[in-house]
Amino acid sequence: MDSPFDVLHLDPDADDEAVKQAYRRRVKEAHPDHGGSKAEFQRVRAAYEAIKAGETLPESWPEPEVEQATEPEDQDPLVEYLDYEVLADNGWELTDEDLFEKAAAANLDGEDYGQFRVEERDTLLEAAEEHGFTWPFSCRGGACANCAVAVVEGDLSLPVSHVLPSEMTDRGIRLSCVGEPITDDLKVVYNVKHLPALDELRLPPGPYEWASDD
């Protein structure tokens, strides 16, 4: 059976930083949007968690539970997220002032609604992946709108070079692949890539490598 280090394509003596970078590479490869599968994505996630805990992997691969920070102890930025796809199912609008209050009361699945913390220097997309989520992306370099999110409260950084027109940034649209939280609290609706104004800014899912690994 493969060891956790085999799954992440690492030597057993790899240090913490090498483990983190290898995990980021592997979740890109295993992501369902890029030719992988949810099962493989969760396998990579389980391997990463096993290495951090100093454990070996089980022979079977139960799907890891999605992490939700209900009362986080650290002071990293806290993100409250909501999947855009559930809005239509519940008769909600992106502009609803009480959107997140309604989501909190709706008993949604952990992939659709919840909270997580973002470590320093992590982008929003990297943080989501580290918490076991398969949020959409393509280029990872700000050159498409596949990873777009709507920032409802707080703010997310946006590099000078990006694909979004000013009318979208004025409406709070940001790119999770290059954006880092710049407020302590953030409320975002992810998976907004199918908003009409973003149609022409999407790329087909694929192994695009516009951004290099840090």
Burial of 95 (0-12, 13-18, 19+ CB in 10 A): exposed
Boundary-marking domain end, from 49, 64, 79? 64
The span from the CA of 53 to the CA of 117, in Å, is 19
Do 212 and 165 fall into the same domain? yes
Q: What is the pLDDT of residue 69?
A: 46
For the cut 90, the answer to whether the pLDDT of residue 2 exceeds it is no
Predicted TM-score (pTM) above 0.85: no
Is 172's pLDDT higher than 60?
yes
Same domain membership, residue 178 and residue 137: yes
Cβ proximity of 117 and 69 under 8 Å: yes
Last residue of one domain, picked from the residues 31, 64, 97: 64
Match 């997220």 to its residue by tokens.
81
What is the C-alpha to C-alpha distance for residues 168 and 190, in angstroms, rounded to an integer? 15
Band of pLDDT at residue 48, cut at 50, 70 and 90: confident
Least-confidence region, from 4-13, 69-78, 137-146, 174-183: 69-78
Confidence at residue 33, expressed as pLDDT on a 0 to 100 scale: 63
φ/ψ of 39, rounded to 5, equals -65, -45
Domain encompassing residue 188: 65-214
Judgement on whether residues 105 and 131 belong to the same structural domain of the protein: yes
Tens-digit pLDDT profile for residues 123-163: 999 999 999 999 999 999 999 999 999 999 999 998 888 99
- Range with the lowest mean pLDDT among 30-34, 85-89, 201-205? 30-34
Q: β-strand 148-153 against 185-190: which pairing, if any?
A: antiparallel
DSSP conformational letter for 75: -
